[in-house]
Structure 1
């Protein structure tokens, strides 16, 4: 019997990411030292305290039973305390907080919980790939919301066709944004909440990068807007803020009905997050709340400045982001995103992601992740500076 993947599976994967893996294998076989600035995977460990708590919890036999469906009460209470400390938002840990195995876990399943096949959802273009993939899994029709530089990569809500808004079950956005590194202020979120209330829409906000902000910029939680819990949920993750990506620990907060719906779906899929990891998460949130944890934003701001300043000197002007672990870099005219990404890799060994991997509006950009230490990023600047100089001599930059 020959087993073929389903049409749903064929719609999930990005051909660009598969193609880039082939490129990396070819370059590696040639003996080139690859510096991978593609995937946004933190290269730092959690704090000593978090690792100590995790190590102790792993040796406790009591932690090896099934976790509770919505996550242990202790972790959900820690999330509630942290939201109050960080955003001044009060959450009911019983009904407004849901523990997840990473924010991607929740984002992948939410559409199944709050929409039916044939429904419509409004998602950003460019956007993190799971936003679109989750709709494929749920049989929900995506309607793309273009995010463009002339609008500071914010959606123009008035431009969304009335027919689309009328049919849509939810609208998804993310600020600070992956891949765009764009940010939004409270005024935008107030407008978004009004828009959602007027059109009976659920707002889904991905806030995974709120703690990677620079230059005194303070990201906003949509739940800081009065009445937002009536129309919004928010995803947050411990992966980036506390270097716990491998732990797979995150949460969704906000609208109780949406929290309950996703919790019911998840109870039919898995048994939740290992209790030892939840205890490590509590330690991370409490360290942050008490001001004793590491400040990862300082690390990424320094890395940002190394790349931005070095590449500007070489002739590649990239806007300075106020948040995230990414640079969203416009490319010179005459190149496509995929073409320049391939040529950079084959010429320098540096991996960047073509912008069109995140949607058609990403054409004309590449995403560069700040996931290597200062010394390696200085080497990246040196390699890319040579690449740029050579292309200038060829009249291609």
Structure 2
């Protein structure tokens, strides 16, 4: 921005100086030539009057005296008897001349045009020097003004960036520019409102998570007691184990919500085996798919390790499987494969896919293709970003979602080629 201000100010100054300087230079040159002509007229009239007075006084007229009084001029005097008296250097090249008469005496005064041209050039150079000085002063003032304007804008941009990152502390700094000061005041008011909203949202999340965690823990204990007490049939044990797994996953989700309310992550990001997390989720969701007459299969490379929060990745895979069960059709395929610097987990089905008008907004909050709240994919993408990965819709028809996880540092080092130096 500073460069644009300087360039625009310089352009305005140059255009203004050109619009004023060119006519001024032309007028100055014309003025020099006109003044030179008037000076020659005065000299010719003065010489003619002096020669006439000398003739009336019967004094001799010599070119030496006249040349000494008017140096650098070529003077030609025509006497009443037709005699011509010359004075000064001979005429060479182009000259400017003026003629005057006094009675029968005629005088012609000439000077080299180069002298007048040099005088005009010196005046034009003086005008150009003043113009350059004006441009330099303009650029200096523009730099001062640009610095005075840009520094507050940079400061305001940093303040806005802090607001976006959650640091909503007001900065009561003013800059002496009314418009910029009004923007700073509005940012300070916004910081106060954002702080209040953050406090309220964190309090609500913490309270809700705490209230949910207690009954879920009690429910998990009751289910475990039910499984222990039920010796038959086996269906009770199978369904009870599935319910316990679901409850444990809900407890993990609540723990994550509570951690997000505290702005940290429960457990953190660690190198996690992808196969185990996917297998656990497939085992948990397979009965639901079997009841719907559908199947889930796992293909791709085994033994991959990615940097993730295991609970977070479990929640992401569970969301994608639930999304495929609700909105998709046919067999759901989970494809694991390594990338250049990442581990990919693709989840796709054989359904009609996602409408083209919905695809760009599929991860937005409250956006749903039909049944559902529209929060599942939004939360899944948020969990992926929190762990340093990302969740993308890589194919719309049929729908394929891809989870990209960072590879551990050891895997990255192992994948890089080793260059041996000369021995």
Q: Considering the TM-score relative to the shorter chain, is it more than 0.5?
A: no
TM-score between both structures, scaled by the size of structure 1: 0.19
Greater RCO, 1 or 2 (C-alpha within 8 Å, sep 6+): 1
TM-score between both structures, scaled by the size of structure 2: 0.18
Name the structure with the higher helix share. Answer: 2
